[in-house]
Chain A
């Protein structure tokens, strides 16, 4: 699978990553090399094999629908880059 510059740019957009002009060339080269390594697995015949999601075939545990967490808004917002009146601030989304 050849990865070109436009593929890198579109995947970077999907992942919401800015990639600088300087980075694009090296990133394209490295991702092409990584995809080359990954494509080796296409040689394996996996017909009739089910995907394995959990190595011990465990399933998600359910818990009782009870409140277990207390409100720690202030403590958690101490790490926020910008807040006001207990809300997280971001640039205006709707005009």
Chain B
């Protein structure tokens, strides 16, 4: 059996060990399944564990490795956010509505991983329909932060972040509509990347807000994330918004030197609401970049303050349309003994959705309703243009933008549960990149009170390789990404 240190290996090291025959995928998979058994009753990162399937895939991967047909990730045990349809496996999206839903087809993202020969350990917990920043909105209960189990892991990809941080999977997938990869990555001390809108196929990924949703890797380092993104990125004719554009090898440029890199610091990201200890972590990280030869200048993203308002119109409006498909007729929860069709719709949806999802559907329906469209939806879409144009202007003078990922470290489970506005304001630094369609990444940059804090890096459209290069160079000179929670 593999010794403990195998869980500390990078994906590149695991790949080499598997190919050298030092460990088999079956051994590795079994040991991760054992860890899930040991730790996950308490952490609650998984909604569904797939031991039989995982071991079967591991056996096939070992044969493929022996046959010399392995890809770099063949045989590596991963886990997927429960928002990706996985054929024959329950796909719940964290909702009672889909508690009985066995996906009849495979999402493009998970199909790409299958084709690469990775092992699927199971499906990861999340805020219901990806709506939330704390993973408290899951029908399957909150996920705990492995650094401090009284704390939230962030959300909505909280199960993914906890699973990677607690070494319950070698890496994971997540999705990000307003920060749902980057914010939990920050709070759990891992590396998470939201690609450019259209870089990764959304086909088979249960839709929340279709003009903002994007899937990306959640991993322990930028190098691992690059290996994951190599599998995830690419054109897919089944997603009409997926971009037909060449995919670079994201590992090829990790070692480019950063001398001369121009970093922009938006003054609005270092303003009121930012925890001063988080600010210090970010400032220290910037100082590291200066040592690596980067130059730093202050920039302005004037509409930052209004991003939250625009987002909380656009995302709920799109959600109210997307979630209309859950009607109790073709799949999903159906109420008992409906008296007529309207009763069937209303009670199936009323019982199947949790309160945050219902709030957002109603806000969206209100913003789109007769007489309010111009005041809300059209207004928010105009602001969206101003927000995007602020970024395009900023990128005329800088190569990347840096700042905090989240204004605070992880907070206690339950502390904001009844206050949606306080929760929404925590998204202030992440949602603007979704509105602008830009790629963003969070890398571990320090600790506050024993809890990890992430540095956010934002790049121009389709410059994921630059983000990964900038993240990797930081990780060569710091060890925040190698810290691990105690008792894990």
Contacts and interface: CB of A to CB of B under 8 A. Distances in A.
B388 A91 contact: no
B361 A15 contact: yes
A86 interface: no
B107 interface: no
Contact of B366 (A11, A58, A93): A11
Nearest to B328: A81
B312 A11 contact: no
Given A19-B358, A53-B211, A54-B241, 7 more contacts: A16-B327, A16-B349, A18-B346, A31-B363, A38-B312, A58-B241, A90-B338
Contacts of B421: 33-34, 36-37
Given A44-B306, A46-B379, A38 B313 contact: yes
Interface of A: 3, 7-8, 11-20, 23, 26-27, 30-31, 33-42, 44, 46, 49-56, 58, 60-61, 63, 72, 75-76, 78-82, 88, 90-93
B341 to A, nearest CB: 6
Contacts, number: 182
Contacts of B102: 78-79
A13 B365 CA distance: 10
| Secondary structure dominating the interface of A | loop
B341 A42 contact: no
Nearest to A46: B382
Closest 9 CB pairs of A and B: A55-B437, A18-B350, A51-B381, A52-B385, A81-B334, A79-B331, A41-B309, A46-B382, A18-B346
Interface in B291-347: 303, 305-306, 308-310, 312-313, 320, 324, 327-334, 338-347
B198 interface: yes
27 contacts: A17-B349, A18-B350, A18-B351, A23-B358, A27-B362, A30-B420, A33-B419, A33-B420, A34-B420, A35-B363, A37-B308, A37-B312, A37-B421, A40-B309, A41-B313, A42-B379, A44-B303, A44-B383, A44-B386, A54-B211, A55-B436, A56-B437, A58-B198, A61-B244, A79-B100, A80-B329, A88-B329
Nearest to B363: A34
A27 B355 contact: yes
Contacts of A26: 355, 418
B379 A53 contact: no
Given A80-B331, A88-B329, A18 B379 contact: no
Nearest to B364: A15
Contacts of B369: 11, 14
B414 interface: no
A60 B240 contact: yes
A16 B437 contact: no
B353 interface: yes
Contact of B350 (A17, A51, A53, A81): A17
Contact of B341 (A11, A53, A91): A91
A19 B102 CA distance: 28
B384 interface: yes
Given A27-B355, A37-B309, A49 B104 contact: no
B243 A58 contact: yes
Contact of B388 (A8, A39, A40, A55): A55
